[in-house]
Amino acid sequence: MSATRRPILDAHGIGPAFSQIATSASLEDGEGCGPGEAIAELIRQSAEANAALMRGDIDGYRALNPHTDDYVLMSPFGGTPTRGSQMTDERWEAVGRFFSNGTFEQEVVETYGSVDMAVLVIIERCRVEVGGLPSQDWPLRVTLVYRREGVEWRLAHRHADPLVNGVSLEQAAALARGEGS
């Protein structure tokens, strides 16, 4: 956080980060809804957008979940992070075709926010056909970072992993070495 933002946040009594549960008062700056309401809306928006994605509705996903220009995706499949600049219309269409016939549920683990940043820590529970594989459960641990740009909240970062059920130390070590399970 920049040194110039800390005094602004402190003046509003919210410090560098706060939980949705702990803060429901509106900000005194008059810009949009209060932080609790903004996070509640991001939770709803995230669930609707990801439900659309699991059905293969990439246009619905993108309309409900705009990304920042410097967006970074750390996919549940690992590998090099994907940057927003790499996401051409053709690549977005391919993402839409990758998922089909899915259902989506979202469990909120924790939320954090500030005047212009919000973080959702969630468990996504999907049952979906992925990449041509038969339908199966795909639970993911996910961290979403949203940044406010003007009056709009945009997704700046998504990090997901399939470790909801946990792995042993040996399995984690094998993955770290690049070995299959």
**What domains appear along the chain, each with residue ranges and CATH number?**
35-177 (3.10.450.50)
More confident residue, 23 or 59: 59
Q: For residue 49, how many C-alpha atoms fall within 13 Å in the half-sphere facing its CB?
A: 16
Tell me, yes or no, if the pTM score tops 0.85: no
pLDDT of residue 150: 93
Q: In sequence order, what are the residues at sequence separation of 6 or more whose Cβ sits closer than 8 angstroms to the Cβ of residue 133?
A: none
The model's pLDDT over 151-179, given as tens digits with 9 standing for 90+, comes to: 999 999 999 999 999 999 999 999 899 88
Average pLDDT, the chain: 83
The model's pLDDT over 75-120, given as tens digits with 9 standing for 90+, comes to: 999 999 999 999 999 999 999 999 999 999 999 999 999 999 999 9
CA distance 49 to 45: 6
